[in-house]
């Protein structure tokens, strides 16, 4: 995706779309002629640059959700904590939610600052083998709001993937914004040449207490219909939220919880998938 000015309309179809410069939302946009010319569809050199940068990252996992408030960032944080509990694994957690960056608080590093060196931005480290990056570290105040149009958010995602000095990493976990929007399209496009291992989809919890009674079969039916693995369901435990508010790992704080057992089983299944995916990639290389 080529760079364009940040004053694109809120319903911009995207510079790589076949409707770029032609959709109704494009009327009056200063970028209309540029997009309609087809120049915006030129291959972004950042894709190759990001591929080179990601050569040091073995596994890449996206965490998605169809809407907000279903525990996506909570799961991303605990997936990172769970894998990093093995000291031999180096883990990176990228908070790609530009307008609601909650990872710094959940990970207990709210208020930290990002440092820049000749090799790029340095992640903020929670543990020696667990580094994170978030726009939350770039704001001057915790009360600052991020009100950006798509192109500016996409530009920062590009920087996070290309300019952060992650070093040698076993797992990069990307916590995405709720829904499906510009950010998701940009992440997938920028990582298109890097062999992403897969995505974990978080849905509204369906618990034994039936707090949210399923009306369509829930996540299990969705996975069956789409022929994708159902990883599990985490029991509702208010101590999970408390741990996140305090910036602590629930897996460490409440090791005997039934939710911890489920979390660890899901993390194990994700690691198994990544190992299988790596073997398949190596076999076809």
The two structure tokens encoding residue 179: 């829904």
- Is the pLDDT higher at 184 or at 36? 184
Q: How far apart are CA 14 and CA 23, in angstroms?
A: 10
Q: How far apart are CA 285 and CA 281, in angstroms?
A: 6
Model pLDDT, residue 40: 54
Residue 254: CB atoms within 10 A of its CB come to 17
**Among the ranges 6-15, 23-32, 156-165, which has the highest mean pLDDT value?**
156-165
Give yes or no for a contact between 80 and 93, defined as CB atoms under 8 angstroms apart: yes
Long-range contacts, 32-40 (Cβ 8 Å, 24+) = 34/4, 35/4, 39/2, 40/1, 40/2, 40/4, 40/15, 40/16
Whether residue 195 has pLDDT greater than 50: yes
Whether residue 1 has pLDDT greater than 90: no
* Average model confidence (pLDDT) across the chain: 85
Name the nearest CA neighbour of 174 among 55, 97, 62, 83: 62
pLDDT tens-digit profile of 131-188?
999 999 988 777 777 777 778 888 899 999 999 998 999 999 999 988 877 788 889 8
Model pLDDT, residue 8: 61
DSSP category for residue 70: S
Class of the 46-202+234-284 domain? alpha beta
Model pLDDT, residue 254: 93
Whether residue 279 has pLDDT greater than 70: yes
The dihedral formed by the CA atoms of 174, 178, 180 and 182, expressed in degrees to the nearest 10: -70
Give yes or no for a contact between 181 and 99, defined as CB atoms under 8 angstroms apart: no
Model pLDDT, residue 145: 73
Model pLDDT, residue 55: 93
Model pLDDT, residue 68: 82
pLDDT tens-digit profile of 43-101?
678 899 999 999 999 999 999 998 888 889 999 999 999 999 999 999 999 999 888 89
Residue 55 buriedness (CB in 10 A; 0-12 / 13-18 / 19+):
exposed
- Is the pLDDT higher at 93 or at 6? 93
Model pLDDT, residue 100: 83
Model pLDDT, residue 2: 42
Q: Can you give the residue ranges of every domain in the chain?
A: 1-42, 46-202+234-284
pTM for the whole thing?
0.76
């Amino acid at each position: 995706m080529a760079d364009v000015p940040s004053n694109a309309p809120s319903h911009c179809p995207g510079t790589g779309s076949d409707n770029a410069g032609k959709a109704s939302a494009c009327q009056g946009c200063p970028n209309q002629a540029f997009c309609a010319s087809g120049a915006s569809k030129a291959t972004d050199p950042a894709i190759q640059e990001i591929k080179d940068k990601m050569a040091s990252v073995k596994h890449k996992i996206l965490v998605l959700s169809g809407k907000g408030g279903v525990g996506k960032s909570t799961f991303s944080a605990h997936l990172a904590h769970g894998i990093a509990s093995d000291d031999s694994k180096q883990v990176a957690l990228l908070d790609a939610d530009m307008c609601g960056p909650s990872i710094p608080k959940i990970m207990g590093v709210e208020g930290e600052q990002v440092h820049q060196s000749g090799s790029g931005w340095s992640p903020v480290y929670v543990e020696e083998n667990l580094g994170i990056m978030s726009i939350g570290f770039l704001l001057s105040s915790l009360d600052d709001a991020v009100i950006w149009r798509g192109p500016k958010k996409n530009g920062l995602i590009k920087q996070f993937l290309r300019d952060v000095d992650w070093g040698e990493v076993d797992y990069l976990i990307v916590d995405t914004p709720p829904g499906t929007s510009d950010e998701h399209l940009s992440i997938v496009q920028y990582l298109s040449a890097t062999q992403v291992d897969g995505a974990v989809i978080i849905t509204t919890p369906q618990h034994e207490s039936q707090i949210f009674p399923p009306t369509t079969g829930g996540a299990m039916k969705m996975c069956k219909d789409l022929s994708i693995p159902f990883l599990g369901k985490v029991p509702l435990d208010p101590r999970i939220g408390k741990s996140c508010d305090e910036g602590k790992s629930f897996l460490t704080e409440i090791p005997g919880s039934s939710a911890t057992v489920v979390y660890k089983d899901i993390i194990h299944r994700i690691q198994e998938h990544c190992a299988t995916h790596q073997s398949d990639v190596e076999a076809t290389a």
